[in-house]
């Protein structure tokens, strides 16, 4: 028989990005024995890569900012499809979560009078992103890790063991959640290096596994982001929402080919960078949609004045929400006004001094110097859209992060959860999302374990099944190579379920995904269990596949364009569709899609918008309801 290492915990947190670490801290503070599991090295998660900053309405740079304005911006960014309660909690609690980080030792950049400095970002009305140069995520992770170490030191002092109540399992991948009936009973996985198996028995699991970008050819995401948490949740009986909404960040590197997709932070535009086509034209002025026209400048002069006098001028159109900018770049390139490498120009060199660029954007300066041999203080960058973030994710209770569906004891926070960002996330709203909902999920997972009358038990059969599934690719002599399968999957998603979608291609995508499903079921990995990336990918593939099926199915179903979902054959927003969440669940192996009405916004929240704005998003029936309530 195969050896399986066993551990017992109260709360198991899968993922060691910002959401996972913040959840683990909260569970441990509630006295729970907590495990943190990460597929890659501890400290290496997307959170570390976050450059721009964390959005929180602290009002440090413009005192007019407050949670109501942040709430409004978030709902507008998401095109009113956001779960309003999540957007409300996020806007209200983000400042506390940022200040709390300072008590853990974070050091954000300062204003002249010593407050946490805040920078401008797309879709945010006021300067709102707390930041550390362009390395904010690194500071966030560093601080959360430091807090964990300090808690471990307390445990050493009180209990004699650093790892008595919080332990990190790095380079450990979870392949299956284990259930006792409908209740979470544990998680099963393997150590990446040794290939040895590991079983966690625990009544509560927090998913904090991040995104799905690796299913796309051009992506800013790194190798771990194969939608594992999304798929684990589905297989455990939870549901996913908003899976048709993917954020294509407008500015990824396009050259050289080896680095295609790597992110160019939005801070470049926030700090004054502008987008130009091959004719040298600043084209974003041609792409301001009606819903945003009032807030954006109409001339270059006004746009440029905004940087120094934001109260009396409107913002530059380069700072429209990401979906708008990505589509605009796509159109310019399609119209033959792209750069040699198939992007557009992003120019900061002619707008800021070399010294300023190096000080405010040090990582970008080095990234271009080292990867592309481009000096961004002297030349423009070449950029184009890259798959960046998934708005869709586990459908959760907004207050607790508890997963919907049939499963109990499962929680989700961060990018793996859905609802908060609606159809499009504003930059900077993810880092604050991680902190707000990571804390909530960790706390609620802890209290869930308190109210259990009996502990769930891991059924022997469930472990045997998980083991068999994990070993299967190694035991097939014939079968396809996982790398070929991944390439084919990435091609289907990139070419047919990408930034601009149409019915015929989505139908085609579903046929091809069905074929891929057969092929993935027979994937074979050469070699043994000891450090074997081919085997790991073979196991990831089934996750990537089911998540991609959800995305393609939902993209075909939603007959409108909104946020991170653009249908060439249904080019406008349809108020009828705004009221609908598409919910994915599994029936056996098959993805099932259901329509579910969005919860109705509370009166005091909808009252934050004026009627003319609401009229752009709501149905006549909803507007009549709004008018009746206002009377």
Distance between CA atoms of residues 388 and 250, nearest Å: 9
Give the span between the Cα atoms of 554 and 568, in whole angstroms: 15
How many residues are given for the chain?
631
* Residue 61 or 434 having the CB closest to ligand FAD: 434
Q: What is the 3-state secondary structure (H, E, C) of 39-96?
A: CCCCCCCHHHHCCCCEECCCCCCCCCCCHHHHHHHHHHHCCCCCCHHHHHHHHHHHHH
Half-sphere exposure of 398 (CA within 13 A, CB side): 15
Write the interaction track for ligand FAD spanning residues 246-285; mark x where CB under 6 A is met and - where it is not: -----------------x----------------------
Question: Of 77, 78, 122, 137, which lies in the binding site for ligand FAD, with binding defined by CB under 6 A?
Answer: 137
Which C-beta is closer to ligand FAD: that of 41 or that of 507? Answer: 41
> What residues contact 416, with CB distance under 8 A and at least 6 apart?
15, 19, 207, 208, 209, 210, 211, 229, 230, 233, 393, 394
**Of the candidate residues 78, 393, 414, 479, the single one contacting ligand FAD (CB under 6 A):** 414
Q: How far is the CB of 413 from ligand FAD (least distance, A)?
A: 7
Residue 509 binds ligand FAD (CB under 6 A): no
Identify residues 212-231 at the interface with ligand FAD (CB under 6 A): 220-221, 224, 228
CB of 54 to ligand FAD, least distance (A): 6
Task: Figure out which of the listed residues 50, 148, 205, 458 binds ligand FAD, where binding follows CB under 6 A.
Answer: 50
Determine whether the annotation assigns residue 425 to a binding site.
yes
Tokens linked to 359: 């000080």
Contact between 583 and ligand FAD by CB under 6 A: the answer reads no
Distance CA 350, CA 147 (A): 42
14 belongs to the binding site for ligand FAD (CB under 6 A): yes
Q: Which is nearer to ligand FAD, 144 or 288 (CB)?
A: 144
| Residue 192 CB contacts under 8 Å (≥ 6 apart), including other chains | 39, 171, 172, 173, 531, 536
78 binds ligand FAD (CB under 6 A): no
Give me 576's structure tokens.
């009828």
40 part of the interface to ligand FAD, by CB under 6 A: yes
β partners of residue 417: 394
228 labelled as ligand-binding? yes
Instruction: Select the span of 81-89, 281-289, 423-431, 491-499 touching ligand FAD (CB under 6 A).
Output: 423-431
Among 208, 394, 525, 586, indicate the residue that binds ligand FAD (CB under 6 A).
Answer: 208
By C-alpha distance, which of 259, 258, 283, 262 is closest to 347?
283
How big is the site for ligand FAD, counted in residues (CB under 6 A)? Answer: 41
* Contact indicator for 440, 401 with CB cutoff of 8 Å: yes
Asked if residue 415 belongs to a known ligand binding site, the reply is yes
By the rule CB under 6 A, 396 interacts with ligand FAD: no
**Per CB under 6 A, does 49 bind ligand FAD?**
yes
Residue with smallest beta-carbon separation from ligand FAD: 17
Active-site residue identified among 322, 352, 562, 578: 322
Query: CB 627 → ligand FAD: shortest distance, Å?
Result: 36
Is residue 315 annotated as a catalytic residue, yes or no?
no
- By C-alpha distance, which of 496, 493, 494, 495 is closest to 506? 496
Q: Quick one: CA dihedral 276, 277, 282, 286, positive or negative?
A: negative
Minimum distance of ligand FAD from residue 470's CB (angstroms)? 12
Place of tokens 């001339």: 299
What values do phi and psi take at 13, rounded to 5?
Answer: -105, 120
Residue 424 contacts ligand FAD per CB under 6 A: no
Which residue lies nearer to ligand FAD by CB, 227 or 338? 227
SS3 state of residue 12: strand
**279: DSSP letter:** T
Min CB(232)–ligand FAD separation in Å:
7
Q: With respect to ligand FAD, which residue has the nearer C-beta, 109 or 574?
A: 109
For 81, phi and psi rounded to 5 degrees? -100, 0
- Residue 201 found at the interface with ligand FAD (CB under 6 A): no
Alpha helices in 521-589 (DSSP H): 533-557, 575-578
In angstroms, the CA 540 to CA 520 distance is 10
Nearer to ligand FAD, 190 or 448 (CB): 190
Residue 174 contacts ligand FAD per CB under 6 A: yes
Verify binding: residue 240, ligand FAD, rule CB under 6 A. Answer: no
Examine residue 39 and tell whether it contacts ligand FAD (CB under 6 A). Answer: yes
Closest by Cα among 10, 42, 51 to 29: 10
Q: Copy the structure tokens of residue 315.
A: 């913002």
- Residue of 53, 59, 127, 479 interacting with ligand FAD (CB under 6 A): 53
Question: C-beta of 444: minimal distance to ligand FAD in Å?
Answer: 17
Q: Considering beta carbons, is residue 49 or 246 the nearer one to ligand FAD?
A: 49
Using alpha carbons only, how large is the chain's radius of gyration in Å? 24
Cβ(631)–Cβ(591) below 8 Å:
no
DSSP state of 521: T
Residues flagged as binding site: 15-20, 38-53, 228, 249, 265, 388, 415, 425, 430-431
What does the binding site for ligand FAD look like in residue numbers (CB under 6 A)?
14-20, 37-40, 45-47, 49-53, 136-137, 173-174, 208-210, 220-221, 224, 228, 263, 389, 414-416, 427-431, 434
Residues flagged as binding site for FAD: 15-20, 38-53, 228, 415, 430-431
Catalytic amino acids? 322
């Amino acid at each position: 028989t195969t050896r399986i290492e066993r551990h017992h915990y109260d709360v198991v947190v899968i993922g060691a990005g910002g959401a996972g670490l913040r959840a683990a801290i909260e569970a441990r503070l509630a006295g729970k024995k907590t495990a943190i599991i990460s597929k890659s090295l501890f400290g290496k998660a997307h959170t570390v890569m976050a450059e721009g900053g964390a959005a929180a309405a602290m009002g440090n740079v413009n005192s007019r900012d407050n949670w109501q304005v942040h709430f409004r911006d978030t709902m507008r960014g998401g095109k009113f499809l956001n779960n309003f309660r999540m957007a409300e909690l996020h806007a209200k609690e983000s400042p506390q979560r940022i200040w709390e980080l300072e008590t853990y030792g974070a050091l954000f950049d300062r204003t002249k009078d010593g407050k946490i400095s805040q920078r401008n970002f797309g879709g945010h009305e006021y300067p709102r992103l707390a930041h550390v140069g362009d390395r904010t995520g690194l500071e966030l992770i560093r601080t959360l890790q430091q807090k964990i170490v300090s808690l471990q030191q307390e445990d050493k002092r009180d209990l004699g063991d650093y790892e008595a109540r919080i332990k990190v399992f790095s380079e450990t991948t979870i392949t299956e959640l284990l259930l006792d009936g409908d209740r979470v009973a544990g998680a099963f996985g393997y150590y990446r290096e040794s290939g040895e198996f590991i079983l966690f028995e625990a009544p509560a699991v927090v998913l904090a596994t991040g995104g799905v970008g690796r299913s796309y050819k051009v992506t800013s995401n790194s190798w771990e982001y194969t939608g594992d948490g999304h798929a684990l949740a589905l297989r455990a009986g939870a549901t996913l929402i908003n899976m048709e909404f993917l954020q294509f960040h407008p500015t990824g590197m396009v050259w050289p080919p080896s680095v295609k997709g790597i992110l160019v932070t939005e801070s470049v535009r926030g700090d004054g960078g502008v987008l130009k086509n091959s004719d040298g034209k600043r084209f974003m002025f041609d792409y301001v949609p009606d819903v945003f026209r009032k807030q954006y400048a109409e001339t270059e002069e006004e746009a440029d004045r905004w940087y120094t006098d934001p109260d009396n001028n409107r913002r530059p159109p380069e700072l429209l929400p990401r979906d708008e900018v990505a589509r605009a770049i796509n159109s310019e390139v399609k119209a033959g006004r792209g750069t040699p490498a198939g992007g557009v120009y992003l120019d900061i060199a002619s707008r800021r001094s070399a010294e300023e660029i190096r000080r405010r954007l040090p990582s970008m300066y080095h990234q271009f110097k080292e990867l592309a041999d481009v000096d961004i203080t002297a030349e423009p960058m070449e950029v184009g859209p890259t798959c960046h973030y998934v708005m869709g994710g586990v459908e959760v209770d907004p207050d607790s992060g508890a997963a919907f569906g049939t499963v109990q004891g499962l929680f989700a926070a961060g990018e793996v959860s859905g609802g908060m960002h609606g159809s499009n996330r504003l930059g900077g709203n993810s880092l604050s999302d991680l902190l707000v909902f990571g804390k909530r999920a960790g706390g609620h997972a802890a209290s869930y374990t308190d109210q259990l009358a009996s502990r769930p038990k891991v059924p022997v059969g469930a472990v045997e099944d998980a083991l068999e599934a994990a070993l299967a690719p190694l035991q097939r002599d014939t079968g396809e190579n996982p790398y070929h399968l991944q390439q084919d999957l990435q091609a289907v998603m990139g070419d047919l379920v990408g930034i601009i979608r149409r019915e015929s291609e989505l139908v085609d995508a579903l046929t091809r995904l069905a074929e891929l499903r057969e092929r993935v079921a027979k994937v074979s990995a050469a070699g043994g269990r000891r450090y074997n990336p081919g085997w790991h990918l073979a196991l990831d593939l089934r996750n990537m596949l089911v998540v991609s099926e959800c995305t393609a199915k939902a993209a075909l179903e939603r007959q409108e364009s909104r946020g991170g979902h653009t249908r060439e054959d249904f080019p406008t927003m349809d108020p009828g569709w705004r009221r609908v969440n598409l919910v994915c669940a599994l029936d056996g192996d098959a993805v099932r899609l259901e329509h579910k009405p969005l919860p109705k916004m509370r009166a005091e929240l909808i009252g934050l918008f004026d009627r003319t704005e609401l009229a752009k998003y709501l149905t006549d029936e909803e507007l009549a309801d709004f008018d009746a309530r206002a009377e």
